[in-house]
Amino acid sequence: MAEATSKASLPDGMPPGLPRVLAVATITIGLMMSVLSNSMTNLALPYIAHDLGISAESSIWIVNASQIALMVSLLPVAALADIVGYRHVYRFGLVLFSIASIGCALAPSLPWLIAARAFQGLGGAAIMAIQPALVRSIYPRNMLGRGLGFNTTVVATSLAAGPSLGAALLSITSWPILFAVYIPLGVVSFVLAERYLPHTTHIRRPFDFLSAAMSGATFGLLIFGIDGIAHGHSALVVLSELGTAAILGALFVWRQTRLPDPMMPVDVFRRPIFSLSISASTCTFTAQGLAFVSLPFFFHTVLGRDATHTGILLTAWPLALAAVAPIAGRLADRYHAGFLGAVGLASMTTGLVLTALLPPDPSAANIMWRLVLCGAGFGIFASPNNRLMMNAVPRDRSGSAGGIIASARTLGQTMGAALVALIFGLFDFSAGAAAAADAAQAALWVSAGFAATALVVGSLRMRH
């Protein structure tokens, strides 16, 4: 294995000044595009289904296509970035995402739109998988925490703004605008990336197509299996998908341990700091996924709040996250991430428990301060956790590490949504609001359980 650039010659991030600001701007725009594309598309599904003359069930594939393409592509794209360079893969992602957005906006039928959304997911994978690596190449080591904290803030703000921005655009014109809006953003981000993103070291080695296929098949079958649980597919089909995913996953890991330059650096899992951090991250995103899917149902169906009121209540979580994440990032550059993570996860667990214990007819303020505890706790955990994981791997493997981090995030969110469907399926909703309240409360207790598990696992890092 030979590196194209000597590690010793690599600068420790970019020097302060306008170029660094514009480098941050380009990855911020790309990240916003990727996050907004999912939150705004979810909002538009009823309108798209009506215009294309398709059923609500069929319209779900507009979301699934992007999600599956994203999950399947994260690890291969991240590994490719280590080979050809992060800026090249990032620019490719921007181009593909923008072209796919044109395809989405012009889609005359469901198959066309599904195909375009799949390419949009692939472009999103190229943008998102290497975000931590790009942050690491832009910021000096002593500012890595605040850089990752700002990244977390961008994600949270985009999540919070997505539904409102989507609704505002739909009030002006029809649903294609929700995809067309990314075209000028993609052009601006590409121009900035071409000019200001730093060149980084990359490894001269062939791309491992077999590992890419095994990784893609593993995660693809895993997503199909989890989706099958959520939509009540037969047990035989779901078990076949999950069982095949487990076998392929085991073979994939076995292959990685025998390669001199593996696609997934399995050796990093031997480092307790990394393995504990990635486990805590997966549990935390599962907890968040459970809450994000069950809470809208609880607010609307059980408490009788309309869509606007429900949206306002839900923004308390991401806005608290956005406010706290930059502060947590700065603290991560000075204090142990294990301690900060324990504080954050304790806050998140407490907030989820208190939300599950809401009184029968709570006021908006009574709901929102609980969600603020959850969001603030998540923000205190996320930035230091990402910093710890990135610092646990060599700089030249930042892309692969970023792919693992993004995969854990996506897998956790998907598992959370599937668990809500599984839990809701255990209750008889024909019994009325009481059964619906019990189902939502059960989902929140499971969410709190995952957050508590993350707290225990994450706290073990203070010993290392």
Say if 411 falls within a structural domain: yes
Average pLDDT value for residue range 416-423? 80
Establish if 28 belongs to a structural domain.
yes
Residue among 354, 403, 329 at smallest CA distance from 148: 329
According to the model, what pLDDT value does residue 279 have? Answer: 92
Based on the fold, state whether residues 421 and 277 are members of the same structural domain. Answer: yes
Same domain, 34 and 168: yes
In a domain, 430, yes or no: yes
| Contacting residues for 356 by C-beta, under 8 A, at least 6 apart | 441, 444, 445, 448
Distances (CA, A) of 252 to 259, 275, 279: 11, 18, 19
Cα–Cα distance, 438 to 193 (Å, whole number): 50
Percent of the chain with pLDDT over 70: 93
Residues 200, 419: Cα–Cα separation, whole Å: 40
End-to-end Cα separation, the chain, in angstroms: 31
Q: Do 42 and 131 belong to one domain?
A: yes
What pTM, to 2 d.p., does this model score?
A: 0.80
For residue 57, the model assigns a pLDDT of: 63
On whether both 189 and 128 belong to a single domain, the answer is: yes
Does one domain contain both 195 and 64? yes
- Specify the pLDDT at position 456: 93
Q: Are residues 90 and 200 located together in one domain of the fold?
A: yes
User: Does 21 share its domain with 169?
Assistant: yes
Q: Looking at the structure, do residues 251 and 294 belong to the same domain, yes or no? A: no
User: Is 157 in the same domain as 296?
Assistant: no
Give the residue-averaged pLDDT of 29-34. Answer: 92
H helices of 85-143, where?
Answer: 86-105, 110-128, 131-138
Give the percent of the chain with pLDDT over 90.
Answer: 30
Note the pLDDT tens digit of each residue in 230-270: 677 788 888 999 999 999 999 998 998 888 878 887 878 88
Judge whether residue 10 has pLDDT over 60.
Answer: no
DSSP symbol at 302 = I
pLDDT number for residue 9: 46
Structural domain contains residue 2: no
Residue pLDDT, tens place only, 88-114: 999 999 999 999 999 999 999 999 999
Residues 21 and 166 in one domain: yes
Stretch 54-60: mean pLDDT: 72
Give a yes or no: residue 5 inside a domain: no
For the chain, the domain total comes to 3
- Whether the CB-CB separation of 376 and 321 falls below 8 Å is answered with yes
pLDDT in tens, 200-236: 766 677 788 898 899 889 988 988 887 787 677 788 8
d(Cα 381, Cα 332) in Å, to the nearest integer?
Answer: 10
Average predicted confidence (pLDDT) for the chain: 84
Please check whether residue 154 lies inside any domain of the structure: yes
177 lies in a domain? Answer: yes
Same domain, 80 and 223: no
Closest residue by Cα to residue 204 from 260, 137, 123, 125: 260
- Treating both helix axes as pointing N-terminal to C-terminal, what angle do 364-391 and 131-138 enclose, rounded to 10 degrees? 70
Please list the residues that pair with 2 across neighbouring strands: 204
pLDDT higher than threshold 60 for residue 124: yes
Residue at a domain's end among 163, 191, 206: 206
Residue 85: pLDDT above 80?
yes
Long-range contacts of 242-250 (CB under 8 A, 24+ apart): 245/217, 245/218, 245/219, 245/221, 248/214, 248/217, 248/218, 248/221, 249/218, 249/222
Average pLDDT over residues 295-301: 79
Beta bridge partners of 3: 203
Averaged pLDDT for residues 128-143: 85
Range of the domain at 249: 209-258
For residues 70 and 190, give the distance between their C-alpha atoms in angstroms, rounded to a whole number. 20
271: which residues sit within 8 A by CB, 6+ positions away? 392
**pLDDT score of 442 more than 50:** yes
Would you say residue 4 lies in a domain?
A: no
Higher pLDDT, 221 or 143: 221
> Domain containing 302 — which CATH number?
1.20.1250.20
Q: Do both 240 and 379 map to the same domain?
A: no
